[in-house]
Structure 1
Amino acid sequence: MNQGSLFERAQAEIIAFHRFFVEWYDAATADAVDFDRCERVFGQDFHMIPPTGKLFDRAETIALIRGNRATYNGDFAIAIEDIRSRWEAGNAIMVTYVEAQVRSGQKSRRQASALFTASSSAPEGVEWQHLQETWLQMPET
């Protein structure tokens, strides 16, 4: 577990989890990925609101991620930019970041806000509690 500040742990989790997505979604690397990591980083009451506005609970989010396994053939990438702490109290922190994706040549960018709480059992020492994403650049068509 990461022993840094709450912000350092959240930052490390954001980067590591998006690396997980790239590896999980790529057909060439999906077999080597431990999906258990995904289930260990979401708090029991986790929920996500993607840019579409649909609300997903923890189980729906995990099913969505599991269902996207090996969807791409080396043509999926994520870059994380501008991670910033926006609020912190006790064992909770709210951060924002920009997620830039390339999927099969289509570029998109989304602004994300995420709420994390400290967790000694999570890989980077924090669990995702809430995630909301808003389009900055919708996928090109």
Structure 2
Amino acid sequence: MDASLLSRASAEVVDLHRFFVDWFDRRRCDRADFSRFESVMGEGFSMVVPSGQLLDREAVLNHVRASRATFDGDFAISIEDIRPGWGTDDLLVLTYVEAQQRAGKQSRRRSSAVFTTNSSAPNGVEWRHLHETWLQMPQD
């Protein structure tokens, strides 16, 4: 596996989640550029959300677009435990833990993401598939 690919994919995970924090926060959403998100979601992208529902690229884009400014300073994400999985020179499976705080409720999910190289993407990689599993569902 290419160490540079691991570094670029890891940076992409962190950077994309920074975008989400800005995009979803009413006070910071003007800083977020939606085209950055759209540009890293590769053609044919799919996502399995923690409930098990399978979404295609368009459904994910539409959901994120519609969720702009839905929080008022009460949304945070941290990324933990990034680990490489199987990979080649231009494809990598990466796992990580995403910890969220939304309106005072905390949750954690383990994610497995598939990345391929794309020299025109901000970190040189694009998302091809994402699968999220609850580690801790949002607290009531």
Same fold (TM over 0.5): yes
1:59 match: secondary structure: helix
2:60 match: secondary structure: helix
Is 1:67 the counterpart of 2:100? The answer is no
When the two structures are superposed, what TM-score results if normalisation uses the length of structure 2?
A: 0.97
Structure 2 counterpart of 1:121, one-letter code: S
Superposition CA RMSD, Å: 0.8
Do the aligned residues in 1 keep the contact of 2:5 with 2:89 (CA within 8 Å)? no
1:89 deviation in Å? 1.2
**Larger mean Cα displacement after TM superposition, 18-27 or 28-37:** 28-37
* Matched-pair identity in %: 54
2:114 aligned residue: 115
Gaps of 5+ in 1: none
Do the aligned residues in 1 keep the contact of 2:108 with 2:136 (CA within 8 Å)? yes
1:33 deviation in Å? 1.3
1:32 deviation in Å? 2.2
Ranges of 4+ aligned residues in structure 1 off by more than 3 Å: none
Structure 1 counterpart of 2:76, one-letter code: A
Show CA shifts across 1:1-39 (max 9, x none).
xxx700000000000000000000000011221110011
Q: How many residues align?
A: 138
Show CA shifts across 1:102-125 (max 9, x none).
000000000000000000011010
